[in-house]
Chains A and B, each alone.
Chain A
């Protein structure tokens, strides 16, 4: 909890005051957020948990500047998000925000390296430099052997690692993750969550993650529960899962490693034949 204590002295990186969001569906107003007050410190890893329809995704969208609020204030990195127009929000995202999607959202026709390098191209970085950075980021994710693979040639876990590399390659202050393990099986989910948390912590990034799965929420330092568009509980998690040793599974780690290797081999082969 060192990071949290250090951060306590600093300004919060994310702060919201009475954030409300109302959707209009036909002639009916649906209140997705009914006044959310939050403050998240730099370097904190926060999970937002709630059942579907609770407004947790809306909160994430609003914090990441993908949607405008109906009322209230959002201050991120000292900037008023609620006052920005769309192009200002895009520039803001370029500078401060990384995003991890549930369905990975990789470009299917790009290789892993090209996918990771893609957001850097929007910053006008020359191709050689951005691909070097992308290769580095992919190696950190343990995907050194899959640099030239297209998403269709990779497993779900591998694809999500590419997604994580893409979110981090721009060196953002905050990473938002929208159900990052929603499309993965539980073993892979565990791996991916550990990877995310370890990388975030080692780089001292702020992570805001949305999930409906309490197990996944336990990876974070702080758990925010949302229900019906309101924050109902904020818990500090003394023992984030990623700090605990990997649980022994019914099938031994050894066996899993083997299967992982086998999968890698298969992928490589597949990749070769496809090219």
Chain B
């Protein structure tokens, strides 16, 4: 029997008993959609978890430290220093899958405006790599690499203006007016210094030293809020920071022989853990958000299995329904099966026909069940929006659920099909 004939015959056989076929399909619809919706909630949980981790920093980044944790003989552990210099950075950059490696050169200074001031953490980066490392701007543009006329261009953290205070007041006095709005705004004139004695009038400063220079701070833009590892830094071009360091020799130390931290950007999110292992093999300490994510995923998996199992119960019931329907249909069609055996229908064709019928039930149940699941998922997402739960049906879940329901239907059709094969052709002769 040709396959299209088999499909057609099996479909007609189902069509002849529309209501029963429909009810069996309905069982399968409920089974499939319950499993899909349950799993989709699990997928949604995982998604929200990943998103919450992603807001803590880029998932493709690895932070490399100039120390590492070593286990000692007594079972405890200690931190051991490692040299993290330009040579090491080059070596890391050359690892397969690494898109870039950026040493973090940081400095601390103070921004001033009138009598108010705020501490700033400054990071010098190569502006060409800024976008690569996910440094996104809320507004404005990236700063230039020139330090001319004492003007320093830099990006400010998102909430930069909220943090000003009066350093010389007797008690804590933030620069905030009666209405709670910051007194220092983007229209205020800003200055930058690396000498604290310029800010704190009660600090005399080192008498043996020259007073530190005061620069004009030119904000070029603000960093986007959250979503990366740098959002609380002021960011300027590395060349500018190097020049500033030269001009403030004792106040800024840029140790290019040993960086504190190097941020490594990976091309693929899947490679991150392998690359991290490779970096650790080179002797550096490394950490990444992926690692924590993995642990949380392990925990979430159990919840997902539980959800899947709950959905699976109704699929099991539906599978038994298929088996029942098929068995009944075989008892009803004993004579017909006898006739087609006499007419020369092969055993494999008979089994094939019944399996195809079962597969149809699984397939239609799966397709309709998926439709229902998408509908339920929409409704759930509307209702659960505020609770943080959400239901996501990714493509693999849809395809997988469809394939699974067909396979389940085939398995439940197996025993009935075997029964059909064993029926005697003599049933055709008997006259009831």
Contacts and interface: CB of A to CB of B under 8 A. Distances in A.
Interface of A: 57, 61, 64, 66-67, 86-87, 90-91, 93-94, 97, 99, 101-103, 105, 107, 109, 118-119, 121-124, 126-127, 166, 170, 178
A57 B431 CA distance: 12
Given A64-B342, A66-B425, A121 B2 contact: yes
Contacts of A123: 344
Contact of A124 (B2, B347, B426): B2
A121 B5 contact: yes
Contacts of B340: 118, 122
A67 B426 CA distance: 7
A145 B425 CA distance: 32
B144 to A, nearest CB: 76
A208 B343 CA distance: 16
Given A122-B349, A124-B2, A126-B2, A66 B344 contact: no
Interface string B408-432: 0000000000000000111011010
Contacts of B336: 107
A109 B12 contact: yes
Contacts of A121: 1-2, 5, 9
B345 A122 contact: yes
B294 interface: no
A90 B431 CA distance: 22
Given A93-B342, A124-B1, A87 B349 contact: no
Interface of B: 1-2, 4-5, 9, 12, 16, 335-336, 339-349, 424-426, 428-429, 431
Most B Cβ at <10 Å: residue of A94, A105, A123, A127? A105
Contacts of B12: 109
A90 B429 contact: no
Contacts of B348: 87
Contact of B428 (A87, A90, A94, A105): A105
A105 B338 CA distance: 10
Give the top 10 A-B pairs by smallest Cβ distance, nearest first.
A94-B344, A119-B343, A122-B345, A66-B425, A105-B339, A87-B347, A121-B5, A93-B344, A122-B344, A99-B342
A15 B142 CA distance: 100
A2 B4 CA distance: 46
A178 B339 CA distance: 13
Given A61-B426, A119-B344, A122-B340, 11 more contacts: A57-B429, A64-B342, A66-B342, A66-B429, A67-B424, A87-B346, A99-B343, A101-B428, A103-B431, A121-B2, A126-B2
A222 B348 CA distance: 38
Contacts of B335: 105
A105 B346 CA distance: 18
Given A90-B341, A119-B343, A102 B431 contact: yes
A61 B430 CA distance: 11
A202 B391 CA distance: 72
Given A122-B349, A124-B1, A166 B429 contact: no
Contacts of B9: 121
Contact of B429 (A61, A97, A118, A124): A61
A107 B16 CA distance: 12
A7 to B, nearest CB: 25
Nearest to B347: A87
B322 to A, nearest CB: 22
Contacts of B5: 121, 124, 127
A166 B345 CA distance: 14
A99 B424 CA distance: 16
A87 B12 CA distance: 25
Contacts of B349: 122
27 contacts: A66-B425, A66-B426, A66-B428, A67-B424, A86-B347, A90-B344, A90-B345, A90-B347, A91-B344, A91-B346, A93-B343, A93-B344, A94-B346, A101-B342, A101-B428, A102-B429, A105-B428, A109-B12, A109-B16, A118-B340, A119-B345, A121-B9, A122-B345, A122-B346, A122-B349, A124-B1, A170-B344
A120 to B, nearest CB: 9
B3 to A, nearest CB: 10
Contacts of B347: 86-87, 90
Most A Cβ at <10 Å: residue of B9, B344, B345, B428? B344
B1 A122 contact: yes
Nearest to A64: B342
A86 B423 CA distance: 10
Nearest to A109: B16
Contacts of A119: 343-345
A91 B347 CA distance: 10
Contacts of B342: 64, 66, 93, 99, 101
Contacts of B1: 121-122, 124
A13 to B, nearest CB: 18
A57 B344 CA distance: 20
A94 B335 CA distance: 19
A22 to B, nearest CB: 16
A124 B349 CA distance: 10
Nearest to A167: B343
A131 to B, nearest CB: 12
Contacts of B2: 121, 124, 126
Contacts of B429: 57, 61, 66, 101-102, 178
A57 B426 CA distance: 11
A127 B3 CA distance: 12
A274 B2 CA distance: 31
A127 B5 CA distance: 8
Nearest to A67: B426
Contacts of B426: 61, 66-67
Nearest to B427: A66
A117 to B, nearest CB: 10
Contacts of A94: 344, 346
Contacts of A103: 431
